[in-house]
Structure formats: C-alpha cells, structure tokens
Chains A and B, each alone.
Chain A
Amino acid sequence: MALNFSHRPIFPSGLSEDNLVLPMRMGNGYRVEGLPEKSGGSGSGSGDGFGNGWRDVDNCSVSKDILDLLPSDPFGMDISTTFTAITGWLEDLDLDFDYGGYRRDEIGASGENYPLFAGLNFIWNNAVRFHNFPSQGGSVCIDEKISQGVSGFGECSRREVGEPSCSYGSGSSCDMDGVLGFRCGYKDVAVASVSGDTNMDDVNCSEEDERSPHPAIALSLAYLSLSDLLVVERVCKYLRNVVRDDTLLWKTVHVDQPLNERITDDILFELTRRAQGKLLCLSLVECTWITDDGLRRILEANPTIIKLSVPGCTRLSIEGIVGMLKNHNSKEGTQGVKHLHIGGLYGVTQKHFEEIKLLLEHSKKSDLLGTDSQLQEHAKKSDLLGTDGQPKKHSHKPHFYCRWKLYRPFDDDRSLDIEVCPRCQNLRLIYDCPAESCQRLVGNATQACRACTLCIPRCSQCGRCINDSEYEETFCLELLCSFCSQPLVKLLGRTDGKAGLVSSVLPEQS
C-alpha cells in the first residue's frame, strides 16, 4: 500500500474563471489543464521544463510584435474569457471577419455555446496564420464545415468516457448506455454541418497542405474510452480542441485499467472539469490514489451527479462517502446520487448501510432532474431512468465472480451494489454461482449458493463454488476449480511443474 498520501494540489479548488494568468507550478509531475502555454520556441529551459511564457509576458516589457501578444493557446479551459480576449485583440488588428453565417436553427441540439465554438474555430484559424510555424507540411486550417458542425455538438448529449468496457475490469468494447443521447446530438449536428453553408469559405486558408480530419472520427469519439480519447487529443489541433471542449464527451467519466493506477485527485478533477459542472456519472474502478477530499471536490463542483461508482478505491473511507452523500443529496438544486457502488471498500457497518439506503431512496423520490431536458434524455439513455422519467426497475442480473470482473458492471441498475451476506451477515459484494447444480437452488434463499467470497470460495476464472470439490491454488493465491485448472496443470506438466503450483484436494463429501 502506498505510503505517500500527500498530493499537493496544483492550484486551489476555487479557481477564479477570470484569472487566465496562473502560476505555472509542478505538482505530482503533472501540469494543470487550462494553463496557457507559451508560443514559439523559447522559454523551455526553466527548471520545471514547462516554459514561463505567461510570466514572461506579464513581467517583461510588452513587445510590440504581434507574435508576442498573441497567446499560443487561446483555448484554455476558460472558454468565455478567452473568447472575449481573442475577439478584443483581433478587433484591434482591424481584422474583418464575419461568422454570423452560422445559423443556430440549423443545428438540432446546439445551445448558446455553438456560435462561440464556431467563432473560436474561425478565430483560431485566423490566429494561427499569424504564427510563423516551422514548415512541417502539417495542416493548419481545419475544414470549416466539419469544424462548424462538430464544434456545435458541444451542446449535444454525450457519451461515456472510459476504458473499453464499462464493466469493471473488462477490456471489451464499451457498454455505452450514456452514449445514446450523444449519438442523437451528433446526428443533429452532423446533418446540419452537411446541409448548412458558411461564410467561412471566404477564409483564405494557409497555403500549407490542408487535410481535415475524416468526419468519421468525430462521430466515433463518443465510443472511445478515456485512454483512447487522450490519444486522440494528441492527433491534431482540431481533435485536441474537440476533445477538450466538448462537455458532452465528459458527462460520464469511467476510469479503469490501466489509468486507474495513475490517476490522482488533481488529474481527475481536471478531467471532470471538462463537463463544466454537468458531470452525470462518475465511475472509478480501483483508483487507489483518489482520496475523500478529491472526490468531495468533484461532487461539490458537479451538482448533477446521479451515479457514483467507486469500487476498490481503497483510500476512500466509508464515513467520508456517507458524509459526501448526505451533503450532496441535501443541497438544493442537486438531483442527488441515486446509484452508489462501493464494493471493495472496507469497514462498512450496518449503520452505514442503512444511512446510505435511506439517502439513495430519498433522492430517487425527489424531483428528478428538474427541467433539464438534455440531462433527462441522457439519463434515460443511460438506463438510469425509464421513459416516464422515473427510476427504472429491472430484474437483477446474476453477478458471477471473476478475477477480471470483481465488481458490478457500470450499467448495473441497482442503487447499491453491496448487500448483507446471507451467511455471515456482513456487508459485502455477493456473488451468484454459475454451476448448474447451484442454479436449481436460486429460488431458495437459505440454500442458494449466493454469498460473499469469504463464505463461499469461488474459482477466479469461472466463478463456480469450490466448497466441496477439487481445486487448485495458484501461485497468485487464486483458486481454480478442477475444470479451469486442467489446462494449467497440463502446461505446468510440460515445464516440469516449476511454477510452484500448490494443489489441494478435498475429499468429496457424499
């Protein structure tokens, strides 16, 4: 277990949105998103290696050269303030531009930010032309129609960001219920981008080779996991801006392997900030660096959270979670958390359990999502609500034990994942049994093969109970039933059994 609990925050949580100029500090080796970067090539020799562009601009005498006045990264997190600044100095340059050609009514699901995004794309392209980029053959201009259409989806509903699968520990493709609303938004905007015309055609793009991103990538962003999104962010400027600026991509944040081992409070906060206060679902699977304070900060900044899943986040305390839940659900204007996954957390008592159940039930009965139609749509598509806007009631799917799927899947509809174990009465994750003989006993509560793993040991591969049967204990101290251990025994037999396999055979009871 890591001993270093201290994570010096890179910046205070209550950062003023008007403050574009922020001290460039290192914290945990990570930069804070949204900090302006220096343009050009100088300033890279400082101790932290990040350059001191803004400090130079602030502290030194102001250069009259336009290159020094223009910021290299106008698209910091602070979109509105940045836009004002950009339009301000572009107007000073007597630049004649007109992006009034964008028609909002062409965009199905856009909001008031669409013209801003469209204008930003236009202004960015113009600003880029003033920089003397070293010739590298890269594209400078973005296909205006595509940028116009895709930038507008900032107001459309979103997808789920996460690892390939929303099931815990799984590496398969994403089970993106949260995407559906986003997909609707994508279609509306993309159709508009195909049909709408623009005054951007008047822009004289750079003479350099212009290659716009293939439109298919914009349509697929919704289905990418968190790590893939971060890869796409590095592909080109256009995609970087899209990934950072589209709040809908960040309404659901799912962190799983391998990022869960690296993500810290500050990094997570920065990622969730991209939702601009409209984060809906947060799923952190075995994110062992996340602390109570970090999670609390996110909840405070996002009153719209309705699903919180933190299984295996061992630095979180159950008292902290209960306190956060009370605080969050009692605030006015918050929908309240309706689904909580805390499997793998230690020290959950009956009292905690009762309190949590009460809080979740209470929040479900409260007015759901208000009049925010986009959130309602998103939650419905995320399978959290029925078509009538009420919490959906599903029949619970059996949950089988597996080393890769220890926790309930993200799309599980239960309000709380842990239960009282029928055998030991402790509050833990309960597993069903896939064995045929045990399936017949499902209806019988006393005899059903359904308990925590301490009461009923299970095979790590298939989830079968191994109480009374032959099993193998692997070098990793996992248990394998006789069906699953056969291939392993054969393999080890070929290598003269050097893997240190310990076999235990229990006499079969009649």
Chain B
Amino acid sequence: QQIQEDLNKQLLDNLVSFLSRSHSDFQEKTTEWTCRMKFREIPTAALVLGVNVTDHDLTFRGLSDVLQDNITPYVALLEAKDCPGVKNLMQKLMGQLMNCDIDVDSLEDEDCVQVSQNRIRCSMPSLISWYESVTKKTDSETPSKKRNSSSRHWQSPPVVVIFKDMESFTTKVLQDFIVISSQHIHELPLVLIFGIATSPMIIHRLLPHSVSSLLCIELFQSLSCKEHLSTIIDKLLLTSRFPFKLGEKVLQVLINIFLYHDFSVQNFIKGFQLCIVEHFYSQPLSVLCCHVVDIKKRVYSLSHDQCENIRRLPSFRRYVEKQESGKQIELLTNDSFLKEEAEKLLEDLHVYHENYVSILRCLHVFTSSLPKYPLGKQIRELHCACLENRVWETEEYESSLQLARMLNKTDLVTMLQQCVEILMSSSGKEFDKTVGKLKEFLTQFQNLEAEASQERDVSVSSQKELQKKTDLYHLQKTLLELKESRRSKKLTKFEMLRFEVVDYIDSLVRRYLVPADDRTLHEILYFNAATVLRGHLNAAPRTALHTALNNPHWYLKNQALKCDGGGISNKAPDICIVYKLHLECGRLINLVDWLEAFSTVVMAAEEPNADAASSDQVDDIIHARFIRAVSELELLGFIKPSKQKTDHVARLTWGGC
C-alpha cells in the first residue's frame, strides 16, 4: 500500500513538473514582451489550451506559480463563475491581489489591513492607490529588502490578471473591465492573460473592435493534449522505473476514454491511479510488484499461502510444464526452491522490461517515419500492438518491414544513429553487442559511400564509352548488357547492407518484443482487468437500469425469471412488469389501463387460487404494488405526472430505449 501511495505521488509530481516545463517557454516570452508595454494598450496574452478543460486548472496553477516566482507578485486568477458582474470581478481581483501581497511581503501587514478596509468600494482608483502605496513601500523599504525584492522582480512589477475560461465570461463584463482598465493603464501596469479553449477567433467574436483594439494581443499555443498524453505515457509506462505495468486491454480502454470522451490528461491519470489501486487490492501477489532491489527481501518473506498463489498463476503453470519432471516436483512442493526460482523469474522480467523499452523505441524510430504508418505514428500505438500479441506475426509489421527495406540511405543512417543513442542511454548490459553491431553497420555505410563514389566514376566512364562507340550494333549490345547487368546487379552493396540492417532489427524485435503475456509471472506486474476499469470510469447507468428492468434474470439468479427473447415472464418483479407494459405506450399513459393490464399479468402469475372472498383484499394489494412500481418508475425518470389529461402520466423516454 505504501508503494502505491508513493507511486501516486510520483505520478502527480511528474505531471506538475511536466506541465510547468511545457509552459516555461510562455513565461520567457511573456517576460520579454511585458517589457515593451505599449501605450494605452493592455498587453494581453491569449493562451489557446484546447478542449481538455479539466486540465487547465493545473496548467494555470503552474503558470501563476511560475509568474509569481519570476516576474511579479501580483497575480490574480479569475474564473467566470465567480464573476457575474464587473463589481464581483473587481472584488475578486482585489481580494486575490491583496492576498498574494501578504504572501510576498508579510511585513506589510498593517498596510494591507488598511487597504482591505477599502475593499468595500472596490473600484479601479482604489486598486491603483493600493498599487501605488505598495510599490512605494517596496521602494522605500530597507535596502536589504529592496535588493531582495528587486532581484526577483522589477521596479514596478506588472499586475497579471488571468482569465481562466474566457469563453464563459459574459461579454459585457469583459468589455467593461477592459475599457475601464485601459483608462488606467498608465498608473497600473496591467497584463491580461486569457485562457481559451476553442480558437483564438473567439476573442474577436466576444469583443467588438472598439474594445479589442485596446488590447495588444499575442497568441500562444499550448501543447495539444495528445502530446501531453504521449509524454505521460513515455514517462510512466515506457520506463523501467515503475515496476507496475498496464496490460494491453487496459491501456486501450484508457486511451479510448481519452481520445473519444474528454481529452483530459487528468482523467487519464486518474484511470491510471485506479489501475494501481485495483491491482494492489485485487492481486494478492502484488507485494512482489516492487523495484528490483526489494525483490529478494520480499520473495523470502513470502508465506506458504502466497507460494501457493504463485503456483496457481497460469503463466507459472505453463512454465512448470515446460521443465523436466524432477524440477517440476521441486517447484510444486518445495517453497524455498520456488522462491529462488520466482526471484530469478522476476529479475528476468525486469530485465525484459528494460530491453523491451529500448527496442520498442528503436522500432518506433524505424516505423514512425514510414509512409502511411502501418504500425502507428505514436509510440503508444506501437506499444499496444506489441503488448497485444507477437508483433512480428502481424500484417502491419510485414508491410512496415517491406517499406523499411526501401528506405534511402540518409534516413537509414540517421535512424541507426538514433537507435545507437537510445541503446547507449539504456542501462541494459545486453546491448553492448547490439550497439557494436549497429555501429558496424554505420561504418559499413560510410564505407559504402566511398565505394559509391568510385562506382559512380565507373558508371560515368562506361557512359563515356557508350558515347565513343557510335556503331549501331555495338550500341545495341552495350545497351542490352547494361540492362542485363542492372537486372542482375539488383542487389548493390547498399541494398545488401540495407537488407542486413532490417533483418537485424527484425531479429532484435523477435528477441525482445515478446508480448508480456508470454512471460512467466507477468500477472504480478501487469494489470489486465479492463472490464473492471471500464465499469468504474466509464459507467453506463442507463444500460444497467435497462438490463435490470428488461432482464431481471441477469441479476436475480432465479429459474422462474429465465426467459427467452424479448418477452418477460409474468413472475418478474413488479417494476419490471410495469416497465414492460409502459414500453407499449405512446406519449401519454392512462393509469387505469395500466393498472388493469398490470393486474391481469399479476393475477395470471399468481394462479387463481385466491377465492372470491379474498379477492377484494388481493385487489388492494395489487393496487398498492402497482402504485409502488409506478412511483418507482417516476423516481427513475421514466414517467412524470401530466396535467394534459386526468389520471395520465407522460412518458419521458422515447422508443424502446
């Protein structure tokens, strides 16, 4: 459990650092550009962030932190929902500015208290006076403090106002605010930052020309969310730092949710966290999912039950079956032997991961530049393909190899160089040989170049010869010869080498990119319960309701409820019957008819054993049950009472669901 919390923390840290890094370039730009502030125009940065609204929060927080650290202590974050009017906006703005003022110079408490009394009449003049007093104070402070502050900020730090979600601000508020603040730009160096989710055009749509001309807008494009995603995948999945891995289906589910639902990196991370939680919760052997260093200790502390658990793992069984009989018995009976073996296997698995990642990157280098991207453009697609099954058995792999065999030399050389870099950077020891081999290829290519120039000379000379002999017969002959030689000399040295390289890569792939499912003890590190994940993240309450109402047998395992086809047995729970009946109706449902139909169905189910004397009683009970079922349906939102006609209810769903 501790590990998983560690992991979570690491995860979030990663994300935050990444985000702030991705925005550092903006900061640089903003700094230099706020210097040359323009006359009467409010410098404005428009940040196009993309549709993943939920991630913006983090981005903005990071941005304002960085701004506060580097440029100015006066940063205010404004959200549309806090600012229904200019007054609220000003109030919020003042509050935030004064708060961050306290944060920066806690010595100036009295001053702030003084100013905050003014808060009642939050207006631009009061803001300016506050600003002046604050800046004056900072200037007239003790020299040491002044140096301190001026080292970090300029003499008159700008006030940065960030509008988190520009689209949802009301136009009027924005316009007013801009016009007002443009009046005061001399006294108050104001910088606006708009967060935009759609397109930069929205500024001009929201603001009329007269207003937008007051702004000096510079546009910044943030990284698209897809890039965020691939960085995160890179950092989290394709490293050997975290022992925990995602299975193919799970990864697919997460990526699908990302691509088709929300484009939210945060949600992706949430899903990943959930995977970790689920894995550690449901897999008893997940204790072994740890860093290599800890494996030994943990394996030896395994109890007998846990050993049994290991023996029960399907991948381990397969492994056992492959061993000779003596070892088999040892493995199945002797705990300590099993532990040793398991430890070895786990270490193998870790080594496999290291190799896997590097080779995967190499392969990605090769495939990502191929036309039409048979194995996908992104490394995550390649990763999925490799996890799914033996990648070299797929058609896509075949075709990509075919294409790779047609690469030109310069590309090939750069790719090889990249591969060498990747392999060098990875920590695996096995790659020494591989790197050597690749380097050999590279030198061969260089040699080839030299040879090629010679060859070119040869061909040139032959051309000259061709020009010399003008005899028709000879000409014909030489042409034929040339043709012949071209056909036979199909495999030049370069081509030979190219084939060799591709074949070598192929062999690497076959050796290292074995899908994880084939590895022994992969269950310990891989989380594969995609359906669970989908259920928790991307639930379908409507479907659940529908199945429960239509096919109660799904939930209640009773023979009486079993039915075939679309029908429903008359023994089903009341609400199911009522629901079924209501499906037959149009927009309005007559309660009396409904009740009657219901009672016929129920009576049929209950057998006419009730004699006439008690029929009245039965009727009441049926009636009560009907009422209950109907009000339950109302609660579920299928119907609502209607005023159109007496004793009618309106159906809220349409069609048979």
Partners in one complex: no
Interface residues of B (CB under 8 A from A): none
